[in-house]
């Protein structure tokens, strides 16, 4: 920042910033005076026409001079003096060229009125009134130009029409010098007044600028220009009061960037600050003006989003979940920065007013807790706050006991979702955990998986899924039904165990399952905590013959560097990119680059979360190898999956896979 712009040691605003604000204020004043002159000139033009029609014949009749065409002079010459400055007032209000043009035309209009009245002494004061009005511009140059204009005009009029100017005639041709002396005296008086008024305006401008800057520092983040924590507190209080009185609801989204500390540590805080500005600008562009976006800490942001409206005709606002997905997708678009490309994920927690709290502390605390739930679950996602997810100690103990009991009594089961080749043939299955409680009914994995990870039961659940997948794989393989592999997800807690690889191999051998029947899926976030240990496990498993997939690709920090250090077989594109691949050019470009990179590394690419035909055709056009999603097939239990595999086997024997309804054209 330039020294003239910065604050000095006393905290006062720099001279250049004050001068800039003064020019802005002065232009605003001049624009208002311009509008006043526009009305004045129209009135003067009308007065000139009336004088030319009704007054001039009486005043000029006794004169020995030849009559001038007064009507035409007032109409056309007066019109020119009126319309030219009005055009400038419309096109360039407040500009210097506008006020200088007004100064010239206003003085010429004064001269015209004096001429039309036969040079009567009373009309001379119109000149001084015009000068006084022009002084409102607070610009001494305007007065100088106006005085020069009237001097030249009066000199010429005294020479050619001596009777019409200041009541002089040919006997006293230099009488105009005396009257110009009065004009100069008036100018000196007005210029002194202008300078005093300008000094006062500069003082007020400096105070206003300093006050505005102090308010900006108090309510806005200096790095990103976004509202800060203080502004957020006031906005939240206003939103709560408004929502309470009008029966509205709003959501509070707590956004925390994933592993941003690594960027500061490895690349330096200057790079981190520059990247933060880019991230803030991208979020601001994505959200627009309606949601309130604030930066409350180093890499933490909060979004306030109104979710319903009192206006009947207004389109419904987007939900907090939609906005969270938009933010995640926008942040995961690569940043071209300092000759490199980098992506930054985010974890987002969502709380809502009034169901999750009726105060600032409650809403921020609960959205913060939901955000940390996303962190523990692998980062780069969003979580809506729910009391079921965040029980107290007693409730947590009860939830843990319920899950232990459910495991013992067989309430957990494994569902399978098919994965398809791009030609429509079944490529394999993914094993997914489901819980059917006899009292509460079906419990969503989004509710019990985070609790399992927090309590450590995820290891037992993961072992249960692997056991069931191996058992069913052996059964279906013996019947000739299994078309490929069964993919089993691995949590970060499982991968962090010293004997993880040995346990997996022992499970396969226990069920007499060949390694080519099982595919292990790990997320990149599971590799971060102890990469060396994870790498050793994966190498041991690959040597045994298992295939390794990386799940939710594209959502982690430095994904490419991880891929280069590991030997992986399959890459699954995260559903965040798949969701917008058919409608967003940015998402389509990211997916295209991921597919090209994976193929370069010899990996098979799977797109998960496919839900529309447009996504199918777009992904196939980009060269995606395999597809998975509810459009193609929903997860089903063991019996339904077995029936599906039988139908698939019969269809494969009777028809060409290209005839399948999901095949790419």
Question: pLDDT band for position 558 (50/70/90)?
Answer: very low
Which pLDDT value is given to residue 304?
93
For the cut 60, the answer to whether the pLDDT of residue 14 exceeds it is no
The CATH-assigned architecture of domain 393-650 is: Alpha-Beta Barrel (3.20)
Q: What's the pLDDT at 22?
A: 67
Q: Above 80 in pLDDT, residue 418?
A: yes
Cα gap 222→548, rounded to integer Å = 46
Task: Tell me: pLDDT of 13 over 60.
Answer: no
What is the tens place of the pLDDT at every residue in 44-91? Answer: 999 988 888 887 776 655 444 444 567 788 888 899 999 999 999 999
Task: Answer whether 294's CB lies under 8 Å from 231's CB.
Answer: yes
What per-residue confidence (pLDDT) applies to 198?
A: 74
- Structure pTM? 0.59
- When mean pLDDT is compared across 177-191, 258-272, 581-595, the lowest value belongs to 177-191
Q: What is the sign, positive or negative, of the torsion defined by CA atoms of 393, 320, 611, 596?
A: negative
Answer whether residue 564 shows pLDDT above 60.
yes
Question: Per residue in 352-362, pLDDT tens?
Answer: 998 888 888 88
Q: CA of 616: how far to CAs of 626, 636, 665, in Å?
A: 10, 21, 10
Q: What are phi and psi of 109, to 5 degrees?
A: -65, -40
Helix axes of 393-409 and 458-478: crossing angle, nearest 10 degrees: 20
Average pLDDT score over residue span 455-480: 91
b/e sequence 610-636, b meaning 16+ C-beta within 10 Å: beeeebbebbbebebbbbbbeebbebb
**pLDDT score for 214:** 64
Is residue 550 over pLDDT 50? Answer: yes
pLDDT in tens, 361-413: 889 888 988 888 888 777 788 888 877 666 655 666 777 888 888 888 889 99
Strand, helix or coil for residue 366: helix
Rounded Cα distance between 123 and 111, Å, is 9
Q: Is the pLDDT of residue 210 over 80?
A: no
pLDDT of residue 121: 60
In the prediction, which pLDDT does 170 show?
Answer: 43
Q: How far apart are CA 489 and CA 431, in angstroms?
A: 8
Helices (H), 122-267: 125-134, 140-160, 175-219, 229-246, 260-267
| Best mean pLDDT range from 175-179, 255-259, 625-629 | 625-629
Question: Quick check: 15 pLDDT over 70?
Answer: no
Mean per-residue pLDDT for 315-324?
84
556 pLDDT more than 60: no
Q: Which residues have C-beta within 8 Å of that of residue 285, sequence separation ≥ 6?
A: none
Distance of CA 629 to the CA centre of its chain: 30
What is the torsion angle, in degrees rounded to the nearest 10, for the CA atoms of residue 9, residue 12, residue 13 and residue 14? -50
Region for residue 552 given its phi and psi (left: phi exceeds 0; alpha: psi -120 to 50; beta: otherwise) = left
Q: What is the CATH number of domain 229-384?
A: 3.30.70.270
- Name the band, by pLDDT with cuts 50, 70 and 90, for residue 2: very low
Rounded to 5°, angle at Cα 164 from 162 and 166? 85
Mean pLDDT, to the nearest integer, of 494-503? 87
Q: Is the pLDDT of residue 530 over 80?
A: no
pLDDT at 659 over 70: no
Higher confidence at residue 310 or residue 599? Answer: 599
| Domain extents in the chain | 15-216, 229-384, 393-650
pLDDT mean across residues, the chain: 81
């Amino acid at each position: 920042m330039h020294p003239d712009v910065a604050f000095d040691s006393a905290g006062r605003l720099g001279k250049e910033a004050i001068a800039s604000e003064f020019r802005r204020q002065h232009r605003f004043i001049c624009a208002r005076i311009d509008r006043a002159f526009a009305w004045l000139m129209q009135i003067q033009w009308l007065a000139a026409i009336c004088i030319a029609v009704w007054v001039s014949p009486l005043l000029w009749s006794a004169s020995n001079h030849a009559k001038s065409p007064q009507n035409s002079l007032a109409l056309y010459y007066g019109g020119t003096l009126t319309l030219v400055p009005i055009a400038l007032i419309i096109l360039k209000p407040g500009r210097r060229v506008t006020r200088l043009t007004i100064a010239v035309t206003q003085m010429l209009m004064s001269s015209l009125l004096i001429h039309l009245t036969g040079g009567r002494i009373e009309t001379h004061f119109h000149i001084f009134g015009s000068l006084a009005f022009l002084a409102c511009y607070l610009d001494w140059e305007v007065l100088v130009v106006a005085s020069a204009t009237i001097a030249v005009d009066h000199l010429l009029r005294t020479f050619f029409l001596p009777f019409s100017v200041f009541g002089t005639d040919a006997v006293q041709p230099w009488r105009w010098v005396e009257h110009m002396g009065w004009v100069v005296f008036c100018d000196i008086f007005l210029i002194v007044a202008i300078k005093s008024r300008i000094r006062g305006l500069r003082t007020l401008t400096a105070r206003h600028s300093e006050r505005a800057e102090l308010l900006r520092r108090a309510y806005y983040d200096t790095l990103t220009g976004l509202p800060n924590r203080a502004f957020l507190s006031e906005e939240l209080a206003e939103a709560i009061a408004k929502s309470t009185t009008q029966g509205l609801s709003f959501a509070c989204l707590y956004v925390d960037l994933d592993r941003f500390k690594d960027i500061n540590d490895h690349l330096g805080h200057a790079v981190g600050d520059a990247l933060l500005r880019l991230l803030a600008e991208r979020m601001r562009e994505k959200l627009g003006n309606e949601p309130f976006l604030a930066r409350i800490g180093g890499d933490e942001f909060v979004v306030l989003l109104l979710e319903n409206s009192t206006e009947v005709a207004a389109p419904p606002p987007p939900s907090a979940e939609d906005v969270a997905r938009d933010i995640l997708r926008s942040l995961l678009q690569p940043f071209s920065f300092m000759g490199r490309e980098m992506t930054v994920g985010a974890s987002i927690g969502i709380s809502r007013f009034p169901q999750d709290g009726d105060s600032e502390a409650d809403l921020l605390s609960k959205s913060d807790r939901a955000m940390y739930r996303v962190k523990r679950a692998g980062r780069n996602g969003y979580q809506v706050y729910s009391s079921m997810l965040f029980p107290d100690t007693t409730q947590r103990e009860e939830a843990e006991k319920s899950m232990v009991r459910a495991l013992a009594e067989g309430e957990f089961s494994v569902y399978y979702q098919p994965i398809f080749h791009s030609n429509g043939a079944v490529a394999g299955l993914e094993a997914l955990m489901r819980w059917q409680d006899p009292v509460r009914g079906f419990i969503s994995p989004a509710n019990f998986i985070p609790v399992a990870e927090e309590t450590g039961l995820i290891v037992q659940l993961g072992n249960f899924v692997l056991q069931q997948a191996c058992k069913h794989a052996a059964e279906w393989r013996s019947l000739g039904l299994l078309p490929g592999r069964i993919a089993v997800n691995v949590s970060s807690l499982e991968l962090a165990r010293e004997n993880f690889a040995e346990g997996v191999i022992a499970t396969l051998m226990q069920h007499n399952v060949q390694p080519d029947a099982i595919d292990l899926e790990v997320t990149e976030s599971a590799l971060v905590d102890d990469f060396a240990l994870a790498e050793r496990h994966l190498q041991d498993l690959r040597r045994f013959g298992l295939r390794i997939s990386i799940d939710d690709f594209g959502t982690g920090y430095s994904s490419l560097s991880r891929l280069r250090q590991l030997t992986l077989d399959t890459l699954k594109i995260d559903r965040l990119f798949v969701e917008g691949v058919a409608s967003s050019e940015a998402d389509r470009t990211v997916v295209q680059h991921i597919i090209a990179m994976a193929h370069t590394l010899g990996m098979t690419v799977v797109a998960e979360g496919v839900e529309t035909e447009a996504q199918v055709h777009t992904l196939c056009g980009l060269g995606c190898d395999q597809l998975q999603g509810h459009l193609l097939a929903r997860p089903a239990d063991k019996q339904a999956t077995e029936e599906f595999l039988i139908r698939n086997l019969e269809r494969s024997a009777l028809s060409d896979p290209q005839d399948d309804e999901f095949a790419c054209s």
